Amino acid sequence: MNVEVRSVRGRKKYYLAHSYRRAGRPEKVRVFLGYDLSSGELRKRLKTARVRLENRADALKQIRDPYTVSLDSYETAELRGLASDTKVRMIHLSEEGWQRFTEAFAYNTNAIEGSTVTDDEVKAVLAGGMWPERPK
């Protein structure tokens, strides 16, 4: 654990931070201590923050079994946000641009898989579902 000091708009923010690895990637947990603290006030706040930080870090390190532990409200809200039913719109592409992207994507995907479908055949498949007569 270490104390991090950040300067924000002329004030100093103090954090107690702890780093650990999760799935091979570094993670960091922080607890805010306060603004512009004296050394005595900082030492006093470190005692309580150390316990809070250890509890938070231990909770994050645990791997929970989704079949035995129910999701809390934060996790449920996060999942609901991921599973949105709204239609995605590509604002930065026009209809013509989207059509060109779709054709190029379908052509390149088939090429990656080893297919030798031509660019014209891809356009025919996308336009009306006209599949090539013979496999190439």
Q: Exposed e or buried b for every residue in 14-26, given b needs 16+ CB within 10 A? A: bbbebeeeeeeee
pLDDT in tens, 66-92: 677 787 787 777 777 776 666 666 677
Closest CA to 27 of 53, 49, 8: 53
Question: Apex CA 119: angle with CA 116 and CA 122, to 5°?
Answer: 85
Closest CA to 2 of 58, 55, 42: 42
Q: Which residues of the chain have pLDDT under 50?
A: none
Which residues are within 8 A (CB) of 90 and not within 5 positions of it... i.e. 6 or more apart?
98
User: Is the whole-model pTM more than 0.75?
Assistant: no
